[in-house]
Chain A
Amino acid sequence: MKLIREFTKGLFKQNPIFVIALGLCPALAVSTTMENALGMGAAATFVLVSSNIIVSAIRNIIPQKIRIPCFIVVIASFVTIVELLMAAYLPALAKSLGIFVPLIVVNCIILGRAEAFASKHKVLPSIMDGLGMGLGFTLALALVAAIREGLGSGKIFDVVVIKGYEPATMMVLAPGALLTLGILIAVTNLIKKRKA
């Protein structure tokens, strides 16, 4: 029961993007299309779960003072694995994500979860936490991408959403990303206020 709660908290209640506002750079940069968003989400989830496993497994060995550099080395190793795998099997995706694949290293969510959760909990809860946070990140990314791609090109995954719609190119470009996220955060605030 507790494990399920560790999993579901990342989805809505503590959603990394909308509620804690971490990991914003990749969220904006790669949410131009649904494909990029899902690719980035999958890559980040893999790194998050793997680094949570290793960090929580060696949490008693790492000296307190140098724990952050240790976490970064663990995370950077998994990011390198993802980089190489993606370049080998999904070259098109690797190309469109560009420098944002190596930049997963400095994605605050991953270091944040290693420091705040995995370094204090056992392996199993850490896996659930990583999965939940990763999925929450992916969901948020997909939502932003759906809005941007839908309004910016009129189709999602090459499926026409609105017939006879004149695409607003701005939504696919940089200003659209910032505007979408600003409004989504405002909506989140509104929902939180209603509940309270």
Chain B
Amino acid sequence: MELTAFITVIISMVFVNNFILSKFLGLCPFLGVSKKTSSAVSMGAAVIFVMTLSGAITWLVYRFILVPLDITYLRTITFILVIASFVQFVEMVILKKSPVLYRALGIYLPLITTNCAVLGVTVLNIDNFFKGAQAVPYSFLLSVTQSFFAGVGFTLALLLMSGIREKLQLNDTPKAFQGVAIAFVIASLMSLAFMGFQGFRF
């Protein structure tokens, strides 16, 4: 019973409700960093990391600070502050501990704060796994799973897109469509393909 709930969340986040292609969350980095496969991988890794941990932290903050104090209406403002300071903190730790990793992820970290996918997944966790102020069973684990696989879905779409865009550079695109415009048309076709997963039911 519980296992099915987890599997449903995983399939839904990676394929059926892919954050980029069906929910339109995180479009800016999707268009910005999808020109090269190598940078797409780094960005994806950074997003998965930040998303999973912010999902966990915001759940704990909501459950043990906002709910007991009855100030759940401050959710948005609290979450964005938690995410922003967490990203800043991670950046400082990586810079101190591993300059190599910093060189790979460094420039992407500040971008993640304003990535709506991160705030989106934390808000979605609360909407999905809380009934009123009451946490559903396995709520914490479900939230972390949802955050992690939302990041995986994001990375998958980013990788596919970067592969296509690398090939696209060799093609003769009409002048008006060069750049962002053709990227949107490609994304539209990809999203059409991903709609094929919609029939999945458990």
Q: How far is the CA of A147 from the CA of B106 in the complex (A)?
A: 40
Tell whether, in the assembled complex, residue A69 and residue B84 are in contact, meaning their CB atoms are under 8 Å apart: yes
Please report whether the interface of chain A is mostly helix, strand, loop or mixed according to DSSP: helix
Complex interface: chain B residues within 8 A of A189 (CB): 175-179, 181
Who on chain B is nearest to A178 by CB? Answer: B188
Supposing A72-B84, A187-B176 touch, asked if A24 and B77 sit within 8 A by C-beta, the answer is: no
Complex interface: chain A residues within 8 A of B74 (CB): 80
Partner of B188, one of A29, A76, A182: A182
Q: Quick check: which of B33-41, B90-98, B113-121 contacts chain A, the rest being far away? A: B113-121
Complex interface: chain A residues within 8 A of B22 (CB): 174
**Chain A: minimal CB distance from B116 (Å):** 4
Tell whether, in the assembled complex, residue A76 and residue B24 are in contact, meaning their CB atoms are under 8 Å apart: no
Q: How far is the CA of A131 from the CA of B131 in the complex (A)?
A: 38
Tell whether, in the assembled complex, residue B195 and residue A174 are in contact, meaning their CB atoms are under 8 Å apart: yes
Q: How far is the CA of A21 from the CA of B31 in the complex (A)?
A: 10
Partner of B116, one of A25, A84, A185: A25
Is B23 in contact with chain A by the CB < 8 A criterion? Answer: yes
Interface residues on A, range: 35 or more
Who on chain A is nearest to B114 by CB? Answer: A106
Tell whether, in the assembled complex, residue B181 and residue A185 are in contact, meaning their CB atoms are under 8 Å apart: yes
Supposing A102-B75, A111-B114 touch, asked if A178 and B191 sit within 8 A by C-beta, the answer is: yes
Is B27 in contact with chain A by the CB < 8 A criterion? Answer: yes
Q: How far is the CA of A99 from the CA of B126 in the complex (A)?
A: 11
Interface residues on B, range: 35 or more
Supposing A69-B84, A99-B123, A175-B195 touch, asked if A24 and B28 sit within 8 A by C-beta, the answer is: yes
Q: Interface 1/0s, chain A 21-37, versus B by CB < 8 A?
A: 11011101100000000
**Chain B: minimal CB distance from A194 (Å):** 10
Tell whether, in the assembled complex, residue B77 and residue A186 are in contact, meaning their CB atoms are under 8 Å apart: no
Tell whether, in the assembled complex, residue A185 and residue B184 are in contact, meaning their CB atoms are under 8 Å apart: yes
Is A179 in contact with chain B by the CB < 8 A criterion? Answer: yes
Is A77 in contact with chain B by the CB < 8 A criterion? Answer: yes
Q: How far is the CA of A150 from the CA of B84 in the complex (A)?
A: 40
Who on chain A is nearest to B117 by CB? Answer: A25
Q: How far is the CA of A24 from the CA of B117 in the complex (A)?
A: 13
Who on chain A is nearest to B21 by CB? Answer: A174
Is A160 in contact with chain B by the CB < 8 A criterion? Answer: no
Is B180 in contact with chain A by the CB < 8 A criterion? Answer: yes
Tell whether, in the assembled complex, residue A106 and residue B182 are in contact, meaning their CB atoms are under 8 Å apart: no
Is A73 in contact with chain B by the CB < 8 A criterion? Answer: yes
Tell whether, in the assembled complex, residue B191 and residue A174 are in contact, meaning their CB atoms are under 8 Å apart: yes
Query: Of residues 160 to 202 in B, which have CB atoms within 8 Å of A's CB atoms?
Result: 174-185, 187-189, 191-192, 195
Is B124 in contact with chain A by the CB < 8 A criterion? Answer: yes
Complex interface: chain A residues within 8 A of B116 (CB): 25, 103, 106-107
Is A195 in contact with chain B by the CB < 8 A criterion? Answer: no
Query: Of residues 152 to 195 in A, which have CB atoms within 8 Å of B's CB atoms?
Result: 170, 173-179, 181-183, 185-187, 189-190, 193
Is A108 in contact with chain B by the CB < 8 A criterion? Answer: yes
Tell whether, in the assembled complex, residue A179 and residue B188 are in contact, meaning their CB atoms are under 8 Å apart: yes
Is A94 in contact with chain B by the CB < 8 A criterion? Answer: no
Is A146 in contact with chain B by the CB < 8 A criterion? Answer: no
Complex interface: chain A residues within 8 A of B23 (CB): 29, 174
User: Closest 5 A-B residue pairs measured CB to CB?
Assistant: A182-B184, A178-B188, A76-B77, A179-B188, A186-B181
Q: A175-B191, A189-B178 are in contact. List 7 more A-B contacts (CB 8 A).
A: A25-B24, A72-B84, A84-B73, A175-B189, A182-B182, A185-B180, A190-B176
